[in-house]
Structure 1
Amino acid sequence: MVLALVALAAPLASCSWVSASPYEHAAYRKTRVAPTFDERLAAAYDYLERYPKGAYADEVSRYVKKAEPVFYESRQRDVAGLEAYLRALPKGPHAKEIRSRLRAIEEQRARPDSLSEAAKSTEARLSEAKASRERARAELFFWIETLSEPDTYKSPIAEGPPELVVAYSLSLPAPVCKHVEPDAIEIPGLTQPHGEWRDCTKSISVPYLVPDKGSLVERKMEFTVTLRQDRTGRPTSSRIEGERLFMRLEETYATRAIDTSSTDDQVASLERGIQTVQSSFEARVSPDPACIIKTGVPEILRRECKGMRVVVIASTEPKWLDAIEFAALAPP
């Protein structure tokens, strides 16, 4: 297209001297020296309208026949181009068509048709669905990142990181607590008198939408956060647990509903869970390969170093509960 415009912008072919009045010659000269292609073509139409049998009429007419289709093709793709065509060639061969198109566009803007409204509505719903998935993902990320943080386990919850106090203690629903028997304590070196350990569990539920067969299906990112606390209220370990939790996480990235029976989806979900927990641990504790501990099913990830441990447990029948366990280890 650019080459065509350049070629058409070249001086008109006639080099022979012809007899013409000064006014006609001035009109003809504009077709050759006007600064833009639009102006040269407009000048050519003006010349033919004023001097249809002029000395340069044949030459200018040949130029117009070649240039106008190119000009129309380059301007008919948007409103600004259509308007530019009319400014240059208000009586051009495509002027009537362009005016009709501009009127239709204006009417559509003033009174959007049902298809336009439906498209906008669909776009809005898809945008909200995407935002809902991002909110669900962010909620799980918050808890993984917070519970990976060693500072979470250094003081009673009430004196801990402000974001933990707000999210765990102050936000609804409130955690439900129960005493833990001594034989349930699995952290070496951390012992308490009978009845002075307790587990406090908070339920989290964040709805989100995923596209499925032309519609949006509602899902929920549901999991529990349990903090095991000593007699001072200081967390010593924690656990995130949810039914098919890693599938729900993978679904927040996908543009479709995850098939729970698909082996590919199951593998992708486990990889997503491992990647998420591993990245958080490495950022907040240590990326040292020495932290890696070999595991076996149902454990799919174990990291342990610098006084912290994280274990990822894949779901199994019958409850299909995925879990992430964190622990602040006692000094040796």
Structure 2
Amino acid sequence: MSGLHKLEVKQLRILSELLALQNLSKVAHKVGLTQQAISEQLKKLRDILDDRLFVRQGNKMVPTPRAQALEAPIADVLIKLEDIVKPEHFEPATYQGVFSISATDYTTQALLPELLSIVRAQAPQLKLIVQDFATDNASELMSSAKLDLLISFPDFIPDDLPYELLFIEQHLCVASKNTSLGQKVLSISDIAKQPQLVVSPSRANLKGSHDQWFANVGLKRNIVMSVPNFSSVPDLLCSTDLIAFFPSKLLPNDKVSILKVEDLPPPFEVIVAWHPRSNQSKIHQWIVEKLRFVCNKSNVEY
């Protein structure tokens, strides 16, 4: 077995202190061991390094040339070991790095402008990469460290990822500012009959997230168009007779009006998820804290 396998960190510290103090009793007092224990460790070091290391002269332990040559390397090793075990220090103002977030266009619009403002003010050297909404390969991206955070909905998050609830969202029924529906209070049956625009971010089809809500009461929606994002919805509604369900956090909007309805589809959770290895990551904790702040600040009821 090589000497490296026998060497212990505490022995390096004792050797470092012996080189500095050159006195067994002083070293014993400083490291909190008995003088006998220090002598035993010195004996092991002599065996491992195949050198006497110190020669006694009166009350002093005079280092051999071999011991003197080890002083600087040992000090360097101990400093590096201290860096490994000390708590991670995170200072936003000086932090340099790249952070990747996967989000839908909806959460990008609702949360990231305010988050970016905070980042630019408090962590100006942090760079953000916002990726398209990842569903099918979220776990793979997280595992390969190509993705740091995923802002999504619980149903789209792999079971092995820890997450935190950011807010509860409610879709509201909207139409053009010039809608003929006026101030009428619409029933779910009335809504089902209206030509509708739906948003399908991950699948290109004429299906929407609230189809089951209608099906539960025996109704089928009159869906006439599907788009992949919410950002285009106001422009598409403002010049047509279509209606749509739109996130409350993106309202009010100058191009659409909120319709009066008897009932609304169930609210849903918006969460932020990360890989388990990042549970103690200071930068992850900081970003999540800022997202939490943004969400609490923008909790407005309509």
Q: TM-score, normalised by structure 2?
A: 0.25
Radius of gyration: which is bigger? 1
Which structure is higher in helix share? Answer: 1
Q: Which has the higher contact order (CA 8 A, sep 6+)?
A: 2
TM-score by length of 1: 0.24
